Amino acid sequence: MKSKHFLQSACMLFLLLGFQFSFASYSGGNVMGRVTDPDTKAPAGGVTVVLECLGNQMMVTTNDSGYYYASNLPAGIYTVTAAYMSNHSVVTGVKVGDDDQKTVDIELNTGIDVLDVPITVYREPLIDPYKVTTATIPRSEFTKEAITRVADITAQQAGVVDINGVFYVRGAREGSLVYYIDGGKVMAASESIPLCGLDTYEIYTGFIPPKYGDTAGGVVVLETRNYFTASH
């Protein structure tokens, strides 16, 4: 009887925490790439790159090696435009989701001649190198399994080894698996968190987005149920 009341209390606390931190959670994706001259294949430094979605824009500039990086982009479908003097090059249909890392390389003529604006439709790569070591499991999936704790999900993931209740990710040392709950880093181990208050489980065992990149092992991102999701 006591254990039942304890579990109910834990679930209620988890839901309250999810409601409290849901508005402060990390969100947004990242787009990076390189701008080069199609004729000389040389990097194009000082090029303005504009990422636009539904009227919202983010502007970045390439470095001397032609690379640019745009972070914390709200989820959506973007048009990426590279501009240098009077020349432009456009890539359309770049779909960016939360925590996505997309690479969009652009060819741009940096000569002084005014050219027609080339427009390219973005194609998703057959194999996304940033997603092959990422697993996202929604509540509709893990509630069908005979498991009760977050640790039970983690133990099933590729690249994770469970030794006496301690998880090691791809050979990294003990303690290198860190947890984020609704965008906030949890210092204590979270393997025993009950699943009753969990909405989404996500684990990174290879590529780690920069906003979580303070570990050499892996990252578990937990989104709790809140007022808006508890009824589903």
Average pLDDT, whole number, for the chain?
A: 79
- At residue 176 the predicted structure's pLDDT band, cuts being 50, 70 and 90, is confident
**In which residue are the tokens 């989701």 written?**
97
42-90 pLDDT, tens digit per residue, is: 999 999 999 999 989 999 999 999 999 999 899 899 999 999 988 999 9
- Bridge partners, 48 (sequence order): 61, 83
Of 219, 170, 229, 172, residue with least CA distance to 196:
229
Q: Taking Cα atoms as reference points, which of 31, 32, 39 lies closest to residue 118? A: 39
Domains within the chain, CATH numbers bracketed: 29-121 (2.60.40.1120), 133-224 (2.170.130.10)
Q: Which helix (H) or strand (E) holds 111?
A: none
Report the alpha-carbon distance of residue 232 to residue 229 in Å, rounded: 6
* Closest among 155, 107, 154, 101 to 128, alpha carbons compared: 101
pTM above 0.85, yes or no: no
pLDDT of residue 21: 39
Q: Please check whether residue 93 is in contact with residue 51, taking contact to mean a CB–CB distance below 8 angstroms.
A: no
pLDDT (0 to 100) of residue 133 = 67
User: For residue 192, what pLDDT is reported?
Assistant: 62
Cβ atoms of 230 and 12 within 8 Å: the answer is: no
What is the layout of strands, in order, in the sheet containing 177-181?
134-138, 198-204, 218-224, 177-181, 184-186
